[in-house]
Each structure stands twice: as C-alpha cells, then as structure tokens.
C-alpha cells in the first residue's frame, strides 16, 4: 500500500470535492437551512467546506451530512456511464471517454461524508436527540468513520471505480 498525501489526492480529484460541497449546499437549500459560507475547493485540510446554521430538526442535519453520498454517487455514475461501457466492455474509446471516466471516478470517490460531517451530525443528535435517535444514527456515524479509515487502503477509490465501472455492469446484467 503506498501513501499519497491527502492534499495531492484532493488536487487530482478536485471535481469530486466541488460536487461534495455543492451537495451539502444543495441539501441546505432544499431544507431551507441558511448557509453562511461555501468553500468549494482549496489546497488545505479540509479541501472544501460549507458553514451553515445548525438545523432545528436532527433529520435535517443528517440529510445535509450524508447528502454528498447520494449526489456524488448518482452524478459520478451518470457522468461515467456513456464512457464506461465502450471502454470497459468493448475496449473502444475516444479521449472524451477517459475524461468522463476520470470525472466520474473523482466525483464518486468523494461520496463518503467526511469525519467533519460525522461530527456535525453527531453533535446535533447529542444536543437534541433522544437515546433512540442516537441509537439509530450511531451505525451511520460508524460507517462514515469506517469510510474515513478505509481511505487509507484506498476504499474511496475502490468505491469510485465500483460506481463508475462496476455499477454499469450490474445495470446491464439486470436489463439483459
């Protein structure tokens, strides 16, 4: 396993960071939660962030926190789909195909919410939630941390490749 500093990965996969932050912002907009500042991309840690008001309802915190998981996965899949079948299945490609697959993988690999997102969700449930709500949200927080740890073994990249290359294969198998 080889190590590449996080900021280098963030620079290489910057489209994913932009979509990740945009997803947080999108959910804030949909749930009418005021946003004070959005940094779509920067060279630093974190590579992007959204500062928003803590919502009154815990479920809103949860949706804003995990929004990128859905948005980045769907967007990454849709962008790579037209390119992934010709390239992966039939080995017939053009330069645009590789660009789209790069974009798809970059975006999908940033689908995992960050540990910062997990902290925000947890603090919201800690302040306002009852024990049942905390009990239900705990596995999600656990999964987010697992994802963060997994990134040391390139779990985020594996997920990105899975969404862009593996998922079209699954769709084809289901349609055939």
Q: Which residues contribute to the site for another protein (CB under 8 A)?
A: 15, 18, 22, 25, 28-29, 31-36, 38, 40, 53-54, 56, 78-79, 81-83, 85-86, 89-92, 96-97, 99-100, 103, 168, 172-173, 175-176
Closer CB to another protein, residue 24 or residue 117?
A: 24
- 51 Cβ contact partners less than 8 Å away, ≥ 6 residues apart: 35, 36, 37, 38
Considering the complex, what minimum distance in angstroms separates the CB of residue 13 from another protein?
A: 14
The CA distance from 45 to 76, in Å, is 23
Closer CB to another protein, residue 38 or residue 157?
A: 38
The CA distance from 132 to 147, in Å, is 24
Helix (H) or strand (E) holding 80: helix 58-84
The CA distance from 144 to 106, in Å, is 18
Considering the complex, what minimum distance in angstroms separates the CB of residue 96 from another protein?
A: 5
Considering the complex, what minimum distance in angstroms separates the CB of residue 103 from another protein?
A: 6
């Amino acid at each position: 396993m080889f190590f590449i500093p996080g900021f280098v990965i963030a620079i290489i996969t910057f489209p994913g960071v932009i979509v990740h932050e945009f997803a947080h912002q999108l959910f804030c907009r949909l749930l009418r939660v005021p946003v004070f500042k959005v940094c779509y991309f920067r060279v630093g840690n974190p590579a992007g962030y959204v500062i928003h008001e803590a919502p009154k309802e815990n479920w809103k915190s949860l949706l804003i926190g995990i929004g990128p998981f859905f948005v980045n996965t769907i967007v990454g899949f849709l962008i790579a789909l037209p390119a992934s079948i010709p390239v992966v299945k039939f080995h017939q490609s053009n330069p645009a195909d590789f660009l789209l697959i790069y974009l798809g993988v970059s975006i999908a690999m940033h689908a995992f919410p960050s540990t910062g997102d997990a902290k925000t969700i947890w603090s919201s449930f800690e302040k306002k939630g009852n024990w049942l709500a905390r009990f239900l949200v705990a596995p999600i927080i656990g999964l987010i941390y697992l994802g963060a740890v997994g990134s040391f073994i390139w779990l985020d990249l594996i997920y990105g490749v899975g969404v862009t290359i593996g998922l079209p294969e699954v769709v084809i198998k289901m349609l055939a």
